[in-house]
Amino acid sequence: MRPAGLPDAGAEVVHAEHAVLAHLVETARAAGRADLPALADTITRRIERGDSLAGGHLKTHIGPLITQLDEIFDAAFPVGDPADLRDVLDVPWPTRSRRLLLARAMHVDDGRLVLLDETAERAIADGDTGLLRVLAHTPLGHLARHSRVRILQALHVAGELDAAAVERAFTADRHLWDGIAGRSGLTCADAVRDHLDAVVWRLVTAPDPPRPAEIPAAPAPRGLRFLLAALDRPIDRQVTDHLWSAGPSVLDRQVADQQGSATPAALHRQVTDQHGSATPAVVLDRQVTRRQGSATPAVGLNRQVADQPWLATPVAVLDRQVADHLGSAELTEAERVELVTSLRDRPEADRQRVWRWRATAGDVEALLPAFGLEAAGPLLRLIRALPDGHEPFRLDRAEVLATVGPETARQLLRRQPNELVSAVLGDNRAAVLKRVKNNALQGIAAFGMLPLAPDETILDRYLALREVARRGPALGPNRRISHAAAVDVALDHLAQVAGAADASRLEWDCEAQIAADTPTGADTGDYRVDLRFDGAEPLLAISKAGRQLRSVPTVVRAHPSYRQLREHQERLREQARRMRTGLIERLVATAATLPPDELARLRSLPAGAAMLPGLIWRDHTGRTGLLDDVDTTGPVTAVHPFDLLTAGTLASWQEQMVRRRLRQPVKQAFRELYVPTPAEREAVDVSQRFAGQTVTGRVAAPLLSARGWSTGHEYGAHQATRPTGVGLTAALSADMHGYWGMGDVVIGGLRFLRDGATVPLTDVPPVVFSEVMRDLDLVVSVAGTSAERWGSPAQAESRARVLAALITDLGLTRVTVDGTAAVVRGARATYRVHLTSGSIHVEPAGYLCVVPAGFGATAHHRLFLPFADEDRMTSVILSKVLLLSEDDRITDPSILQQLKALT
């Protein structure tokens, strides 16, 4: 009779398991005392398995059976002395009466958990091995993991450790090995493993093989017999797996659906299910059964766990996880030789399964003779030494090609697939191109490694990688970093394909080819189109009969030559952008050095010819100057402004830049500088300069990412990190809800780490310290949430220096710098312009609002900024200063009305 109130499938399981347990109860009733302990373990496992299959409903329907079992075990194991704890615990089944006696003996209320750890410690101290054996076997009470380990160790020392005690310990705590592994002073580990091997062998050779949860979570068993047992048993798994194919009597449900109807052979629904199994010859999917009306009595029902629990006939189908565990067994050298011999006559599916198992075990190289791949050892070792995961990594193309011939490599790759090695051979071009479209990091790295197609050039591949790189900024903050790293690896691989010395040389050789291949002009009918340069900016000039035109006629836009020049213009514009924001910014920020040949190659590019001369350099003789003023026959170093400040020449360089109207491609002479404050020196190894500042996470994360920070450490000790290139890592702590993009983030302390240990701030190279602080200052300035704009002292000082240079150059006698404000003595009033917020105060007191439409978008006619960085606030502030210095010429009614009221 089926239980009421349950779904059909759940009721089926409960009904079937109830019948099995009833049979086991009768078996226990007829068994002798010596057989009952093993039978108790069998019943316990059957109840746990059945309850799992029934979705937790079985235990609520077997109360009468449990009562019968209590009576059987109480009769077989009577209590002689209720006051003797050993006598109370010595029972293989946790009967109700024994639980009550134990609670009374331990002075614990009925229903409360009884802890036996102190009892175990006393028994260990007293050397009471009899009680220890009882504690190891009893199903009553609770023992902590460390107590069970100590019991096994004590029994081992006493020479009384056996497989039964080990099995019971691991039945109570499947992960008990975690408490044994790596523990110093334990001598029982090898003996425990020996006994575990015996336990596992008994379980896997039983008529009803175990589920993964019934196998002790311990190292793989030892011996070839385990692997062969896994190989000889049918495995419950997906038929779509390319490493194994089902026998002719098993048909996957999806296959059956495609064929339109089920064949006389059985249907196997989801072979990855772990909670049931059925003989391959009689498995029919439950949904198919519904459509057909009913299943024959001989048919087992196998269905998805997600639908409802299912009933399965208990047959010898080995779970996939269990098979993998057995297949990874530890083997001796002799066993490996025996395995190779036995594999020669095995089906291909078996051979591939064993390959996968031994790859997990780490000794797959021993199988090479079984596949005729003895010569492939070096390549296999190379493949297995490559990093796991999805992050891109560099591969040495020459090393791959030098190991074995292409055909042997292909045979190995069929056994041990590897995307990068396949790319070296060019065998996976279509798959790699598809993965590149999906921004797969390893796919991008492999794209650079592919041999050139017949109609492809190195420049074609380089430009394609640049297109891939342009997709990076649209990705998430951390993904943006890894995407850029993948492109860098791909360029390195492409350099190997091209035979270039390194990726940098390849990159700028390709950039030089872009510039060399760019036409300088074209005739389009009556019109002439010329490609010219304004500094590094490529421009198209349209003329007719020698007269320049301000707009592009429609007939010119439609001409193929014009469209081609536009494409070249965009390439050169992108080249200039990459050089400015990538190469030149890095040169200045890291005070990097260029050898003569690389400098010459960069200067051959239009962008390099326009930008590099504007930087301040130091040559190999120690002389500092602009590029045309130093010796370029040797290496030259981009000077960091901290070095100029230390040398006492920064102010003179700043004045020279403004006086000579030199616009640097990035901030160098007027770069913000940061040095440790007295508070930071006192704190030794942590800076709290920006601590407590709240920023918008979704704004701050991209800013950090663009500067090389990783914000993927939400649950670590630091929430943002950045390698500095000198063996140090900048590590920022922050308080957030989940992750950076989820809401506001409160900035915490900044530390510098070397090998995980903090480094005193005074030991951090000054340039590194300054650049890291500059990153954080920018983030707080741009992404801050405070109603009052973050008043960055470094930014204010930088703008003050720009203003001081302009004051001298323009002869602005009415303007002075007072701390973080510019004081402007105009004809109508005296003004103070704050150098971080740009706010204007009219002395003695009063706020002047000057925000005309588009203000700051176009520069004041006398304004010159000595750097090309996008710093709109500096332009706005300096434009205000120049405007107020000529306040007698202001005609804007709103400004004049405010001044009248304030003065």
pLDDT number for residue 559: 94
- Number of residues that this document lists for the chain: 903
Q: Tokens for 544, please give them.
A: 């007719």
Q: Does residue 241 have a pLDDT over 60?
A: no
Q: What is the pTM of this model?
A: 0.68
- Please tell me which residue, 419 or 237, carries the higher pLDDT value: 419
- Please tell me which residue, 703 or 631, carries the higher pLDDT value: 631
Mean pLDDT of 853-873: 63
Q: Tokens for 663, please give them.
A: 């616009």
Buried b or exposed e, range 642-679, using 16+ CB within 10 angstroms: bbbbeeebbeebbbbbbeeebebbbbbbbbbbbebeee
Question: Is the bond preceding residue 844 a cis peptide, omega within 30 degrees?
Answer: yes
Helices (H) and strands (E) in the chain, counts: 39, 24
User: What's the rounded Cα separation, in Å, for the pair 823 and 801?
Assistant: 14
Left if phi > 0, otherwise alpha if psi is -120 to 50, otherwise beta: which for 856? left
Integer distance in angstroms from the first to the last C-alpha of the chain? 100
What sign has the CA pseudo-torsion 715, 718, 724, 727? negative
Contacts of 405 (CB under 8 A, 6+ apart): none
Please enumerate, as own/partner, the contacts of 299-305 that have beta carbons within 8 Å and a separation of 24 or more. Answer: 299/266, 301/9, 301/12, 302/268, 302/269, 302/270, 302/273, 302/276, 302/277, 302/278, 303/9, 303/269, 303/270, 304/269, 304/270, 304/273, 305/270, 305/273, 305/275
| 8 A C-beta contact, residue 419 and residue 446 | yes
The three-class DSSP label of residue 246 is: coil
User: What's the rounded Cα separation, in Å, for the pair 278 and 416?
Assistant: 32
Lowest mean pLDDT among 187-201, 296-310, 397-411: 296-310
User: What's the rounded Cα separation, in Å, for the pair 231 and 347?
Assistant: 11
pLDDT number for residue 110: 79
Chain-centroid distance of CA 158 in Å reads 49
Residue 274: pLDDT band by 50, 70, 90 thresholds?
A: very low
**What letter does residue 113 receive in the DSSP assignment?**
P
pLDDT number for residue 304: 33
Mean pLDDT of 854-876: 66
What share of the chain has pLDDT > 90, as a percent?
Answer: 55
- Please tell me which residue, 435 or 857, carries the higher pLDDT value: 435
pLDDT number for residue 282: 32
| 8 A C-beta contact, residue 667 and residue 869 | yes
Q: Which amino acid is at 886?
A: E
Q: Tokens for 822, please give them.
A: 């510019």
Question: Is the bond preceding residue 406 a cis peptide, omega within 30 degrees?
Answer: no
pLDDT number for residue 716: 65
User: What's the rounded Cα separation, in Å, for the pair 118 and 268?
Assistant: 51
**What letter does residue 615 receive in the DSSP assignment?**
S
| 8 A C-beta contact, residue 300 and residue 312 | yes
pLDDT number for residue 7: 62
Q: 585 — phi, psi (to 5°)? A: -60, -40
What sign has the CA pseudo-torsion 545, 547, 553, 558? positive
pLDDT number for residue 677: 92
Highest-confidence segment of 282-291, 509-518, 734-743, 847-856: 509-518
pLDDT number for residue 48: 87
Segment holding 236, helix H or strand E: strand 235-236
The three-point CA angle 177-180-185 to 5° equals 170
User: What's the rounded Cα separation, in Å, for the pair 516 and 510?
Assistant: 10
The three-class DSSP label of residue 55 is: coil
Q: Tokens for 548, please give them.
A: 């320049």
User: What's the rounded Cα separation, in Å, for the pair 481 and 709?
Assistant: 8
Q: Tokens for 568, please give them.
A: 């070249």
User: What's the rounded Cα separation, in Å, for the pair 420 and 418?
Assistant: 6
Lowest mean pLDDT among 210-214, 380-384, 439-443, 710-714: 710-714
Mean pLDDT of 272-294: 35
Q: What is the number of other CB atoms lying within 10 angstroms of the CB of residue 755?
A: 8
Looking at every residue in the chain, the average pLDDT score rounds to 84
Alpha-carbon torsion angle 371, 374, 375, 381, nearest 10: 90
| 8 A C-beta contact, residue 319 and residue 271 | no
Lowest mean pLDDT among 125-129, 209-213, 380-384, 664-668: 209-213
Q: Tokens for 146, please give them.
A: 């460390």
User: What's the rounded Cα separation, in Å, for the pair 760 and 724?
Assistant: 15
Burial class (CB in 10 A: 0-12, 13-18, 19+), 489: buried
pLDDT number for residue 669: 93
pLDDT number for residue 871: 67
Q: Which amino acid is at 386?
A: L
Burial class (CB in 10 A: 0-12, 13-18, 19+), 605: buried
The three-class DSSP label of residue 735 is: strand
| 8 A C-beta contact, residue 526 and residue 544 | yes
- Longest CA–CA span in the chain (Å) reads 122
Segment holding 64, helix H or strand E: helix 63-76
Q: Does residue 51 have a pLDDT over 70?
A: yes
- What Cα–Cα distance (Å) separates residue 363 from each residue in 285, 332, 413, 618, 795? 39, 10, 17, 56, 60
pLDDT number for residue 281: 33
pLDDT number for residue 38: 87
Contacts of 443 (CB under 8 A, 6+ apart): 419, 432, 434, 435, 436
Q: Does residue 279 have a pLDDT over 50?
A: no
Burial class (CB in 10 A: 0-12, 13-18, 19+), 776: buried
User: What's the rounded Cα separation, in Å, for the pair 794 and 874?
Assistant: 13
Mean pLDDT of 467-476: 88
pLDDT number for residue 210: 85
Closest-CA residue to 588 (of 643, 538, 656, 528): 643
Q: What is the number of other CB atoms lying within 10 angstroms of the CB of residue 238?
A: 15
Q: Where are the beta strands (DSSP E) in 755-819?
A: 757-758, 815-818
Closest-CA residue to 855 (of 870, 827, 831, 875): 875
| 8 A C-beta contact, residue 364 and residue 355 | yes
The three-class DSSP label of residue 847 is: strand
- Domain locations in the chain as residue ranges: 8-214, 224-335, 372-515, 523-567+583-639, 678-783, 795-902
Contacts of 431 (CB under 8 A, 6+ apart): 419
Lowest mean pLDDT among 40-54, 70-84, 335-349: 40-54
Q: Does residue 252 have a pLDDT over 50?
A: no
Residue with tokens 């190279």: 765
Closest-CA residue to 489 (of 529, 454, 443): 443
Mean pLDDT of 113-126: 94
- Please tell me which residue, 719 or 245, carries the higher pLDDT value: 719
Buried b or exposed e, range 307-331, using 16+ CB within 10 angstroms: ebbbbbbbbebbbbbbbbbbbbbbb
User: What's the rounded Cα separation, in Å, for the pair 14 and 61?
Assistant: 8
- Please tell me which residue, 793 or 590, carries the higher pLDDT value: 590
Closest-CA residue to 39 (of 77, 8, 12): 77
Highest-confidence segment of 264-273, 360-369, 737-746, 843-852: 360-369
pLDDT number for residue 283: 36
pLDDT number for residue 589: 94
Mean pLDDT of 611-638: 96
Q: Does residue 340 have a pLDDT over 90?
A: yes
pLDDT number for residue 295: 34
